[in-house]
Structure 1
Amino acid sequence: MSVQTQNPFFSISEIKVSYQPKFKASERPQVTTSQHAYDIFYENWNHDIIEMTEQCYMLLLNRSNRVIGIKEVSSGGMTGTVIDPKLVFSVALKSLCTGIILCHNHPSGGLKPSEADLMLTRRLVEVGKLLDLQLLDHIILTKHCGFYSFADEGII
């Protein structure tokens, strides 16, 4: 009786990617300004924890800036959240989007971007160029003070 060994190259997991939109592109909201993007984010934010927990969401947009979807990227503590560029771009690639708008809140109520916010934004812009996925804006929002747009301020 011989003992058969299983070849490790044949026992690997298969990766499948699928995308199933629920609406026609013409029925999706079109983002034309930072105010419009802010309105979509603010409407979809969990207002019960907006002043307690820093979170980050992203809007995924097609070539016409119509919204494909919104995705929570991270949720952290009172003073920060970790935004992993690999996660941001893996979701973007899976959704077949061409543009991304990132948004995170500041529970403190301040709108001024931190040095970490600036560094992350620059990094995402550079990675996006390599993948032909444009970071169109990065928005900071608060519950009562409105929003800050990196694009409007000329940072993107």
Structure 2
Amino acid sequence: MNNKVNEIKISYKEKVRTLNSIAIKSSSEAAKLIFEQWNNDTIGLHESFKVLLLNNSNKIKGIYQLSTGGITGTVVDIRILFAIIIKTLSVGIILAHNHPSGKLEASTSDMALTQKIKNAAAFFDVKVLDHLIIVPDGSYYSFADEGIL
């Protein structure tokens, strides 16, 4: 009997050298960058969840869209989130999701998810620097600025 096993291959390839990218220094810089990357046709339609991946100097490695949901929520699979973080060897992350309604407030489920991710990140020595809620007009809510991170 010939047992076959899948080969696992992990790779990450930079299209833009991280060393040449900008360093994130504030929530406003992060929010502006993330908003610019959001699809203007869908930001007011349904929720999506993204992660901004950073190196030790807070330079941008990339943005990954983790999920797309419905009008009032989206599912975040923490295993996939950490697979992306580890695969890219990121040491800092900024979480972001949109509120199509334009409501600039964190819900209790937003806060619980953020805490769950923050606790998991500690095991991997990854810093959760912020969680941003972006609304269709480009305004944002920062967990770090509000002192709830």
TM-score range, shorter chain: over 0.9
Q: Is there any run of 5+ residues in structure 2 with no aligned partner, and where?
A: none
Match of 2:108 in 1: 115
Contact 1:111 1:145 in 2 (8 A): no
How many residues of Structure 1 are paired with residues of Structure 2 in the alignment? 149
- Of residues 21, 29, 33, the one that matches 2:14 is 21
Is 2:81 the partner of 1:88? yes
* Aligned partner of residue 116 in structure 1, secondary structure: helix
Match of 1:127 in 2: 120
Contact 2:102 2:135 in 1 (8 A): yes
Match of 2:45 in 1: 52
Instruction: Name the Cα RMSD after superposition.
Output: 1.1
Deviation at 1:36, TM superposition (A): 0.4
Q: Which has the larger radius of gyration?
A: 1
* Aligned partner of residue 19 in structure 1, secondary structure: coil
2-side partners of 1:26 and 1:115: how far apart? 37
Match of 1:65 in 2: 58
Deviation at 1:145, TM superposition (A): 6.1
Q: Is there any run of 5+ residues in structure 1 with no aligned partner, and where?
A: none
* Residue identity matched to 1:44: Q
* Aligned partner of residue 152 in structure 1, secondary structure: coil
TM-score (norm 1): 0.92
2-side partners of 1:126 and 1:107: how far apart? 27
Deviation at 1:19, TM superposition (A): 1.8
- Of residues 21, 24, 32, the one that matches 2:25 is 32
Q: Deviations over 1:14-61 (max 9, x none)?
A: 111112212333310110000000011000000101111101111000
1-side partners of 2:35 and 2:80: how far apart? 22
- Displacement over 4 Å in runs of 4+: none
Contact 1:57 1:73 in 2 (8 A): yes
